[in-house]
Amino acid sequence: MEEFVGKLWHRWITQAAGGHYPKAAVKLKEVERTAGILFRAFGGDPGLRVAAAVEVRHGARRRWLSRVAGSDEKATPATLDLATLRLPPEIAAFPDAALNRDLYLWLAALAAAGQQPGAAAETDSCRRNQAATRRALACWPGLAPRYRRLVQAHLAQRLNPDSLPAAERPREEAIRRALLEPGSVDALPRSPVPSRPVMLWLGDFGTEPHGATQPSREAPTEDQAGSQQLKEEEERRAHQTERVEMPTEKNGMLMMFRAESIFSWGEYVKVNRPTDDDPNEDAVAAANDLDQLALADDSEKVASKVRFDLDLPSAAEDDVILGDGIPLPEWDYRKGQLLEEHVRLLEVTPQAASDSALPHRLARTARRLHQQFAALLPARRWLKGQPDGQELDVDAAVRAHADRATGGHPTDNLYLSLEKRERDLACLVLADLSLSTDTWVSDEARVIDVVKDALLLFGTAMGATGDAFALCGFSSLKRSQVRFSRLKDFGQKFDAAARGRILALKPGYYTRLGAAIRHASSQLARQPASRRVLLILSDGKPNDLDIYDGRYGIEDTRMAIIEARKLGLQPFCVTIDREGASYLPHLFGPAGYAVIRKPEELPRRLPLLYAQLTR
C-alpha cells in the first residue's frame, strides 16, 4: 500500500511541478535524420554526426514544487564541437509535441548558422548565440514564426524576474531581452546563482557551468552483439569530464576505510590488471550514474605499463608478407592537405591456406545464385536490315524487290547479322577483417564467418557472368602496418586455392579504411573494363589506435572515395553497422551504400546487390 501511494504521490507532485510533459515527448531518434539533413542543407559541416548530448546539473534556482518533487535538477544543453552536433536525447519541455520537435529543428538551424562563412569566432556564449540567432533568422526567414513561438513558450516556463532576489534579477532580464531581441545584449550581468538553462541556445546555461568541464573525446561505438542482440541501440550518452591529478598509490589493494561503505562505482580506478579479465556487466550502468568522469595523465613510461592494444603475432603464425611495403598518402582534414607517404601498406596472403572445396552448407545457395547470375549474360540476337551479315534477310529482300518493281529505290541492307554482346565489367571486393569481425552474430557463426561465406558465394556466382573480379581484405595496426590480404587477383581463377585463402582468414587489428581503398582503387583502375565497381564490406566506422579514430578517419576515407571516383570507379559500401546511416551518406552519398540489418543475410544478399548494381 505504501508503494502504491508513493507512486501516486510522485506522479502527482511531478506533474504539478511542471517542466516535463512525457505525453508530448519527442525523441532524438525520431528526428535525427531530419535534423541532420536540415543541418547540412543549411550549410553545416557535412562531416559532423548527430548524437545525444550529455545531461548535467545546472545548479540554477528552482521553483518550490520542483524542489519538493526533486525534479528539474539537470538539463541537457545542445553542443557543437569539431566532430559532433549533440542534441538532447529527448525533449519534453513543452506540452505541445510540435513545439518540442520545432526545438530540435531550431537547434540544428542555429548550429548551421554558426558555421556560415563569415561567422566571427566569438568566445562569449551569449554573444555567440545571439549572433547565430540573428544570422539564422536573416538567412531563413521561414524560421521566424517558429522561433517566436519557441521563445514565448520558453519564457513562460522561466522564473519571473520580479520573483527573484535583486542580485539575480538583472541577469534573468538580460537573458529575456537577448531571446526577444537577439543582439541587444552585449554581456550578461554577474549573478551569485546560475541562471536557468536557455533551451534555445547551444551549449549554454545562461551562465558559466560549475567547473571547467568539457565533453569527453569521441570513442568508437561498435555494436559487437550477435544478430539476436542487434536491437535498436538506446540513446548513447556523452559524459562530462574533469582533469585530475594522477593518484600516487601504487597498490590499489590497501583500503584505509571499511569496504561496506562503498555504495557506488568509483570515478577513478588505478588499474592493476588481475588474471580474471572478465568484463563488468554493470560498468555501463554505473558510468551513466556519474555526473563527471575523471581523466588524469599517467607519468609512467609506456614500457612499464600493461599494454591493452593488440600485439603482433609471431612470424610462424603471421601471414606471408609480399614485398617491402607500399607508401601511400593520407588526408589530414585539420590541415586540409594530403600527407604524402604517410602510410605503409603491406600486401599479405594467409600462410595456413590449403586448397579447399566449397563448404557443403553453401552448395545449394551457390547453385541457385549461379543460375540467377547466368541469366545476366546477354543473349545473342539477329539484327535485321544490315549491309552485310551471315544470312539473307528475307523480309528486306521482298521489300527491295517490291520497291524495284514499282519504280522505287530499293535498299541495299539485305542481310541478317548475329550480334554477340559481352559484359564489360570489373569488380574488386574489399572486405573488412578487423578485430570487430570476431563478434558473434548467432550461436554458430561470427561476423568473420559470415564474411567468408559471402566471399565464397560471391566468387562462385561471378563465375557465371564472366566478369573480371578480385577479392581482397584489410586490417591495420597504426599507419605503419596496413595489412592488405590478396585472396584472388584479377588474373587468377576462383579455384580451390582461392577458396582456401578465404577460409584461412582470421580477424585482427583495426580499420584504416582510407589506405585500403586507395590501394584497391589503384589495382581496379588498371583493369580495361568500361565499368569498374569497388565493393566494400564493412561492419563499422574507420578507426585505429592513433588519431585515425573519429572525424579524422571518416574524412580520410571520404577523400579516398573521391579519388576513386576521379579514376572512373564506382565505390559502393555494404555494411552491417546499424549506425551506418549516420555517416555513410557523407562518405558514399545517399545511393552509394546499403545497410544489412541481419548480418547472417550478407552471404545471400551480396551477390544480389552486385547484380542490381551492374544490371
SS (H, E, C) 395-434: HHHHHHHHHHHCCCCCCCCCEEEEECCCCCEEEEEEEECC
Q: Rg of the chain's alpha carbons, rounded to an integer?
A: 31
**Domains in the chain, ordered, with CATH?**
2-215 (no CATH), 238-308 (no CATH), 337-373+423-613 (3.40.50.410), 383-418 (no CATH)
Task: Write the pLDDT tens digit of every residue in 44-101.
Answer: 888 888 888 888 777 777 776 666 666 667 788 888 887 788 899 999 889 899 999 9
Number of separate helices (H) and strands (E) present in the chain: 16, 21
Q: By C-alpha distance, which of 455, 479, 458 is closest to 553?
A: 479
3-class secondary structure, 254: coil
Grid coordinates of 265: 562505482
User: How many other β-carbons are positioned within 10 Å of the β-carbon of residue 400?
Assistant: 18
| Cell numbers given for 583 | 555517416
Other beta carbons within 10 angstroms of residue 455's beta carbon come to 28
State the Cα–Cα distance between residues 408 and 519, nearest whole angstrom. Answer: 63
Q: State residue 270's pLDDT score.
A: 47
Strands 320-332 and 292-295, by their bridges, are unpaired
- The pTM (predicted TM-score) of the whole model is 0.69
Q: Yes or no: say if 431 and 472 are a contact pair by the CB < 8 Å rule.
A: yes
What's the confidence (pLDDT) of residue 532? Answer: 94
DSSP-derived letter for residue 19 is S
Q: What is the pLDDT of residue 290?
A: 60
Between CA 486 and CA 510 the distance in angstroms is 17
Q: For residue 234, what pLDDT is reported?
A: 42
C-alpha closest to that of 53 among 20, 90, 21: 90
- Length reported for the chain: 615
CA distance 433 to 504: 12
Positions in the chain whose pLDDT score sits under 50: 205-235, 260-278, 302-311
Nearest partner of 221 among 238, 199, 244, 204, judged by Cα: 238
338-374 core/surface letters (b: 16 or more CB in 10 A; e: else)? eeeeebbbbbbebeebeebebeeebeebbeebbeebe
Say if residue 163 is exposed, middle or buried (CB neighbours under 10 Å; 0-12, 13-18, 19+).
exposed
Is 593 in contact with 575 (CB distance < 8 Å)?
yes
Question: Which residue, among 477, 377, 372, has the nearest Cα to 422 in the 3D structure?
Answer: 377
Find out whether 481 and 449 touch, Cβ atoms under 8 Å: no
pLDDT, residue 577, reads 86
